[in-house]
Amino acid sequence: MLKKLLGIAPQIEPDGSYRPSKLALKLGTVDKTDFENISYQKYQGKKSKIFVLFTEQKNMTMKNGKMFSTGNHPVEALLPMLHLKNAGFEFEIATITGKPVVFEMWAFPEKDEHVKSIYKELEPSFQRPMKLQKFIDNSLNDSDAYAAVFVPGGHGAMLGIPNDENVGKVLNWAHEKGLFTITLCHGPGSLLSTTLNNQKFLYEGYKMAVFPDSVDKQTPMIGYLPGHMPMGLSEKLKSLGANIVNTKSDKTVCLDRKLITGASPLASNELGKLAANTLLKALN
């Protein structure tokens, strides 16, 4: 009751899951982003496609058994995509099962016309994404058409994606073919898929920006999460040999070889700029 009065009680949804408290939403989300509408010199070559892998899962079961209402963070997905679109790239959107993309709509920036525009433009693809297996069956032999793989963040990126062998196949394919891999916040959980079947971590020794476990451990105090995470990400990546370059959930972005990463939702605009400029420089 006291938590409700203070506005720090997570808010229950119809399916019994919890979205962040009123205070957490006030502190942790925005109604308008810091997106910079940059006019890039558009890419005109044949490697114009970016494969974007989203989660289709909504609920994360926390250590205390409560479910967190999650999915992909709309800002972390759509700001980088806005920059990449402005730079002349197009998207192929997929989920593991082919079920619709799930977004943390409680984090949607309702007063941001740029974000609303690209969301509306891509909504048919979000509702009917490609199944990951179909991409593997049809497109892995067509690497000349692709510039990058993008795995957006949101806590939902930790559901299913790190444990899926097909995700590991796509990341290994991108690595072998010299494509860029772009991800941020909890999206780097996808990189864990490269360790399945006792394989060596593909990104051992890489510098990367990732959402810090230390912040995830603090956010239940203000009701952002309804409990503690079932698994930490940044420490797990560190234990595999990744060099984490940030200690805060801030605007940090990082480029190491063909891996482009960002620390948090706050890094979405910077990650989009870094990705767009890096791809244009490498491909033009």
pLDDT tens-digit series, residues 203-234: 999 999 999 999 999 999 999 999 999 999 99
In this predicted structure, the answer to whether residue 97 has a pLDDT above a threshold of 50 is yes
pLDDT tens string 120-176: 999 999 999 999 999 999 988 888 999 999 999 999 999 999 999 999 999 999 999
Report the distance separating Cα 213 and Cα 188, nearest Å: 13
pTM: predicted TM-score of the whole model, two decimal places: 0.96
Integer-rounded Cα radius of gyration of the chain:
18
Q: What's residue 284's pLDDT? A: 84
Q: What's residue 6's pLDDT? A: 58
pLDDT tens string 100-110: 999 999 999 99
pLDDT tens string 33-53: 999 999 999 999 999 999 999
Give the pLDDT band (50/70/90) at residue 1. low
Q: What spatial distance separates the first Cα and last Cα of the chain, rounded to whole Å?
A: 59
CATH topology of domain 45-283: Rossmann fold (3.40.50)
In this predicted structure, the answer to whether residue 112 has a pLDDT above a threshold of 80 is yes
Identify any residues that bridge with 92 across adjacent strands, giving them in sequence order.
51
In this predicted structure, the answer to whether residue 3 has a pLDDT above a threshold of 60 is no
Identify any residues that bridge with 95 across adjacent strands, giving them in sequence order.
131
Q: Write out the H or E segment, with its range, that includes residue 90.
A: strand 90-95
Give the pLDDT band (50/70/90) at residue 113. very high
Report the distance separating Cα 78 and Cα 154, nearest Å: 12
pLDDT tens string 39-92: 999 999 999 999 999 999 999 999 999 999 999 999 999 999 999 999 999 999
**How does the average pLDDT of the chain come out, rounded?**
96
Token pair 């995830």: residue: 216
Q: What's residue 2's pLDDT? A: 47
Token pair 């698994």: residue: 231
Report the distance separating Cα 265 and Cα 263, nearest Å: 7
Q: Can 185 be counted among the known catalytic residues?
A: yes
Which entry of 185, 229, 242, 255 is annotated as an active-site residue? 185
